[in-house]
Amino acid sequence: MQSPSHQSMLVCGKHRLDLSRPLVMGILNTTPDSFSDGGNSYIDQHLSLDLALRRAEQILAEGATIIDVGGESTRPGAAVVSLQQELDRVVPVVEALVNKLDAVVSVDTSTAIVMKESANKGAALINDVRALEREGALEAAAATNLPVCLMHMQGQPATMQNSPAYNDVVIEVCQYLAERVSACLTHGIARERIILDPGFGFGKTLAHNLALLKRLSEIGDSEFPLLVGMSRKSMLAQLLNRAVDERLPGSLALAMLAAQRGAAIIRVHDVAATVDVLKVLAAVEG
């Protein structure tokens, strides 16, 4: 594994996370139309608070450090979610995970009020695919005093995969993220609270995704911790011709490659298998 040059400790509310080795973030969607969960047993689990708690317990037992709770699907063509819908889907789950499991909860949202309400219930991290570009998001994130993850996305979820184009995807992703870091600093969000995500699959072709992975260490100039999410994504369908539920081997390969290139947090659906891969990698290289 590449030795991290970013800070080795991330303060997430009352929790302190050791980033000297890659951490696993387990996905807990509360949406009925997530690209990988929608249409199977995850729907019923995630729309029931009791069953969401059971799934969260499983995620933690399998070795995840962080649980990422999202109430708005960002897959291409996903239905628009109202503010009240997102609040109803996310905030009670955050409160339950914090109070009953003492979990480190990340909130996958771009909405200022959801950020504030989730922080009030004990959320430890804000994970925003729109890099705090929505109205009021920068101010809300700053007010929570929580770490924020800024992700790159070309376009908007509904149309981002229509015809993504770059002159140099790595340079352009770096430029965008540098601009968002600057905006955060201007609004009082300290450098040590910033995490970057190159946004695999968000307005990128397969070639773009592979270039980003190959040059991952260049993102953020290694100053900021990197979060990556490639689990079960369509890049694996293009590479391997596999359905969503057949993408575990490919997802594990991507997780290992990301860890070798310096990723600090790896966001996945399949927690136990990913944790095993990272343990093996640490044993060999650590």
> Catalytic residues, which ones?
233, 267
The token duo for 91 is 């905030």
Q: How far apart are CA 268 and CA 265, in angstroms?
A: 10
> What's the burial of 18, exposed, middle or buried (CB within 10 Å: 0-12/13-18/19+)?
exposed
What is the H or E stretch that residue 275 is in?
helix 271-285
What single-letter DSSP state applies at residue 161?
T
What single-letter DSSP state applies at residue 244?
G
Could you tell me which of 251, 280, 271, 268 has the C-alpha nearest to residue 61?
271
Residue 217, classed as helix, strand or coil, is: helix
Q: E strands, the chain, where?
A: 9-12, 15-18, 23-29, 66-70, 104-108, 125-128, 148-151, 194-197, 227-228, 265-268
